[in-house]
Amino acid sequence: MDLSKNIKTIREKQNLMQKEVALHISVDKSTYSKIEKGLRDVTVSELNKMAKLFNLTVDEIINYDENIIPKEVVIEDKTTVEQMRLIQQLEEEDKQTIFRLIEKMLTNKKFKDFFNKNVATL
């Protein structure tokens, strides 16, 4: 098991830059680079922050095997904040599609509410 290699592999698979991870775990880019090269140990706090960013558990990072198919993300099991964080990880085009769907659903709901309110008064 090589934790530094696992961290680098996961970061690359998630299309994150070193500076993005460094910022998220509150270290400078050169310090983060040393973590990936195995020249500096990662702290428990930093590992916990990485787990949140990567949407993995600490155990999944430590025992990472890129040949194992990741488990399905079930959005219903997540809090609203977590759902938004997951959406923010998507590519821009996918994010816009989701937001357009939400806007359409909200518009439909407002129309139905307006219609039901006004029909009820007839």
* Sign of the CA dihedral with 7 first, then 9, 12, and 17 last: positive
pLDDT at 69: 62
Top pLDDT among 111 and 80 is at 111
Grade residue 41 by pLDDT with cuts at 50, 70 and 90.
very high
Q: What's the confidence (pLDDT) of residue 85?
A: 80
pLDDT (0 to 100) of residue 16: 93
- pLDDT above 80 for 62: yes
Q: How far apart are CA 54 and CA 32, in angstroms?
A: 15
Give the whole-number percent of the chain exceeding pLDDT 90.
54
Sign of CA dihedral 92, 51, 77, 63: positive
What's the pLDDT at 47? 95
Dist. CA 38–CA 2, nearest whole Å: 8
Question: pLDDT tier at 39 (50, 70, 90 boundaries)?
Answer: very high
Average pLDDT, the chain: 87
- Does the structure show a pLDDT above 90 at 18? yes
